[in-house]
A = this chain, B = another copy of it.
Amino acid sequence: MEKYLKKEELVSMEQRKRTTLINSVTGFKSLNLIATINKTLQANVAIFNSVIHLGADPALMGFIVRPDSVARHTLTNILETGFFTINHVNFYIYKNSHQTSARYPQEVSEFDACNLTADYKNDFPAPYVKESIIQIGLQFRERIKIELNGTNLVIGEIQQLYFPEEYWREDGYLDIEKAATMAGSGLDGYHITGLKERLRYAKATSEEV
């Protein structure tokens, strides 16, 4: 049975129910841990489901953060230090990763509270998450304020990249499924994936599908 909701019905829906529904309708989401340090070198890590690809040349990634959210220290630290890391959430750490969304006192590092390990390597000025199999080090490039609802798009440029060589294909494709990377749905759904297929570059002259 098809359900049809108009804007007016969405607006009048109980707030948490609406938030959960609207968070479901974008489709599947990336799940990443973003790690930073503050001026006093205290490490912070928080889960984000809004990391997106912005471009390959320069190699830019972005994510959305709300200044009043639990994850606000991520933004503060990035603006303070200019660096952050993005680390894929995988099958072995999805519970730990989810737990980073709890509201810990500022003096508590989520690394300790959630049983994750801060990994400092190759002189990068932000910690990686050791348990993550695909890790990306970025330099902060721009913060774009979205006035419509007070959120921010934070953009960084890739400086370092770590991944298992055996999952890297000849054409550049990295098989993130093999690295146990998970996909998210709504605010709290954690999914494993099964590759159906990789499709060839589409041409207008292809046979009709």
> Does A19 touch B at the CB level, under 8 Å?
yes
A111 within 8 A of B: no
- Is A99 touching B209 in the complex (CB atoms < 8 A)? yes
Cα of A104 to Cα of B10 in the assembled complex, Å:
37
Contact B173 A196 (CB under 8 A): no
Q: With the chains together, A8 CA to B175 CA distance in Å?
A: 23
Given contacts A174-B24, A206-B102, contact A196 B122 (CB under 8 A): no
- Is the beta-carbon distance between B198 and A190 smaller than 8 angstroms? yes
Q: What 5 additional pairs, Cβ within 8 angstroms, besides A4-B122, A5-B160, A6-B160?
A: A7-B159, A24-B174, A24-B176, A27-B30, A99-B206
* A residues lining the B interface (CB < 8 Å): 1-7, 10, 13, 15-32, 49-61, 64, 66, 86, 88-89, 91, 94-96, 98-105, 108, 113-115, 122, 134, 136, 141-142, 144, 146-149, 151, 153, 155, 157-166, 168, 171-177, 181-186, 188-204, 206, 208-209
29 A-B interface contacts by CB (under 8 A):
A2-B162, A2-B164, A3-B168, A5-B161, A13-B172, A18-B172, A19-B172, A20-B172, A21-B172, A22-B158, A26-B52, A26-B53, A28-B182, A28-B183, A29-B30, A53-B64, A54-B64, A60-B148, A94-B199, A99-B209, A115-B209, A141-B148, A142-B146, A148-B155, A177-B185, A186-B198, A189-B195, A190-B196, A192-B194
